[in-house]
């Protein structure tokens, strides 16, 4: 690819809207935390663990991802993990991050909700004061668990209402359609929380439809399978529903065979408000700039697409209008020369 374009996508100001903080846990940190906490691991070394990162589909990834997260026990562990992600994101000129966390993965192991959210929040506050980065949290419900379990997680979260801005839906998609969580999302909407959901990653376009109509989400995470349904594609464009697309994730989990077959350009050409994100960077071979570099290398994307993607990332964020405009001005200034 054109060196100037590569430099542009890497240095442009951007927001990251689809990053699971547990998916930023690098093998080295997994081993360090396992040692610190005396948690046994099924892998002999960092290299041995990395070799296991060959996935056939979403579920084969999730099994390893939940095993990796089992080393997280203390507030300091959640702080260390989040700090490492934020430092890495800063190097990619991420100016704002909306970060997913999976409390049920931890509370099911006896880790208190407050330990999880306080550790993550401490790192976010520090990034704001030290690096001028903004960040907020979106709590995901695990869709392979029951709606009742999601309700009890919401109960545990409410004393910390000021520390997260919204809720999402992640984990195994097939067989767990959005409408399974209709009541808990309705409750979250009453509470004034922002709503997002993973849909149309592995699951069918119908899941995108019900995420919009039943859950009333404001963004779709992934959503790449929307192009199989022309009416849905037109609707996403008309309503400018943002999609948080994660190109390297889609290759690792075999949603597309190769990056040159990815539909990011087709989504943009259909006038959909797509964004580029890393999903689970420690597992999928790269952080946000690695995703930008790889997808610009594989597809005939140009400078005008870089500009659109940078703008989309802030427009699609849940920042207040004033902060959003400030970041959009930064993007415009960056692309002026």
* Active-site residue set: 201
- Tell me the closest approach of the beta carbon of residue 75 to Zn ion, in angstroms: 24
State the binding partner of 58 from ligand HPA, Zn ion, none, CB within 5 to 8 A by kind: ligand HPA
Residue reference for tokens 């046994």: 40
By beta-carbon proximity to ligand HPA, the closer residue of 176 and 308 is 176
- x/- string (CB under 5 A) for Zn ion, residues 13-52? ----------------------------------------
**What CA–CA distance (Å, rounded) separates 253 from 87?**
26
Shortest Å, Cβ 104 to ligand HPA: 11
75 close to 113: Cβ distance less than 8 angstroms: no
Binding flag, residue 249, ligand HPA (CB under 6 A)? yes
Residue 275 within binding range of ligand HPA, rule CB under 6 A: no
Q: How far is Cα 315 from Cα 330, in angstroms, rounded to an integer?
A: 13
Contact 13, 334 (CB under 8 A): yes
Q: Which runs of E-coded beta strand occur in 178-273?
A: 194-199, 219-222, 243-245
Residue 98 interacts with ligand HPA (CB under 6 A): yes or no: no
CB of 222 to Zn ion, least distance (A): 7
Burial class (CB in 10 A: 0-12, 13-18, 19+), 90: middle
> What are 63's two structure tokens?
């099994």
16 scored as a contact of ligand HPA (CB under 6 A): no
The single residue among 23, 27, 68, 178 that binds ligand HPA, judged by CB under 6 A, is 23
Phi, psi of 197 (to 5 degrees): -155, 140
**C-beta of 77 vs 170, nearer to ligand HPA:** 170
Distance of CA 103 to the CA centre of its chain: 15
201 contact choice in ligand HPA, Zn ion, none (CB below 5 to 8 Å, kind-dependent): ligand HPA
244 makes contact with ligand HPA (CB under 6 A): no
Scan for tokens 């998609």, then name that residue: 173
The angle subtended at Cα 245 by Cα 329 and Cα 307, nearest 5°, is: 30
262 binds, among ligand HPA, Zn ion, none (CB under 5 to 8 A by kind): none
Name which of 100 and 327 has its Cβ closer to ligand HPA: 100
User: What value, to the nearest 5°, has the Cα angle with vertex 42 and ends 40 and 45?
Assistant: 95
Question: What span, in angstroms and rounded, lies between the C-alpha atoms of 11 and 15?
Answer: 12
Q: Per-residue string for binding with ligand HPA, 37-76, x by CB under 6 A?
A: ---------------------x------x-----------
- CB of 241 within 8 A of CB of 212? yes
Q: How far is 140 from 162, CA to CA, in rounded Å? A: 16
> Is residue 102 within the footprint of Zn ion (CB under 5 A)?
no
Per rule CB under 5 A, count of chain residues that contact Zn ion: 1
**Residue placing its CB nearer to Zn ion in the complex, 43 or 141:** 141
> Binding pattern to Zn ion, positions 259-288, x when CB under 5 A?
--------------------x---------
Binder among 88, 198, 219, 305 for ligand HPA (CB under 6 A): 198
Give phi and psi for 47, each to the nearest 5.
Answer: -65, -40
Q: Residues in the site for ligand HPA, rule: CB under 6 A?
A: 20, 23, 58, 65, 170-171, 198, 201, 249, 279-280
């Amino acid at each position: 690819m054109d060196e100037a374009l590569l430099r542009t996508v890497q240095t442009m100001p951007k927001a990251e809207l689809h990053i699971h903080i547990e998916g930023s846990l690098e093998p080295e940190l997994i081993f360090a935390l396992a040692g610190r906490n005396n948690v046994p691991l099924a892998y002999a070394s960092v290299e041995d663990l990395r070799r296991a990162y060959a996935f056939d589909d979403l579920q084969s990834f999730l099994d390893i991802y939940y095993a990796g997260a089992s080393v997280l026990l203390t507030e300091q562990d959640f702080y260390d993990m989040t700090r490492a992600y934020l430092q890495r994101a800063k190097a990619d000129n991420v100016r704002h991050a909306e970060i997913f966390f999976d409390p049920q993965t931890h509370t099911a192991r006896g880790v208190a909700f407050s330990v999880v959210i306080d550790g993550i929040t401490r790192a976010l506050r520090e990034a704001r004061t030290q690096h001028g980065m903004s960040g907020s949290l979106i709590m995901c419900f695990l869709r392979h668990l029951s709606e009742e379990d999601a309700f009890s997680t919401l109960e545990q979260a409410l004393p910390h209402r000021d520390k997260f801005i919204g809720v999402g839906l992640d984990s195994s998609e097939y067989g767990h359609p959005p409408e399974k969580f209709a009541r808990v999302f309705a409750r979250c909407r009453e509470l004034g929380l922002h709503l997002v959901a993973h849909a149309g990653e592995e699951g069918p376009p119908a899941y995108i439809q019900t995420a919009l109509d039943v859950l009333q989400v404001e963004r779709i995470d992934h959503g790449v399978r929307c192009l199989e349904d022309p009416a849905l594609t037109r609707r996403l464009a008309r309503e400018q529903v943002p999609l948080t697309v994660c190109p390297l994730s889609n290759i690792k989990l075999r949603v597309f065979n190769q990056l040159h077959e990815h539909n990011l350009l087709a989504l943009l050409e259909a006038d959909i408000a797509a964004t580029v994100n890393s999903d689970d960077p420690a597992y999928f071979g790269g952080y946000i700039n690695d995703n930008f570099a790889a997808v610009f290398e594989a597809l005939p994307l140009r400078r005008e697409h870089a500009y659109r993607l940078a703008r989309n990332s802030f427009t699609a964020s849940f920042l207040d209008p004033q902060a959003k405009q400030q970041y959009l001005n930064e993007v415009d200034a960056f692309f002026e020369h």
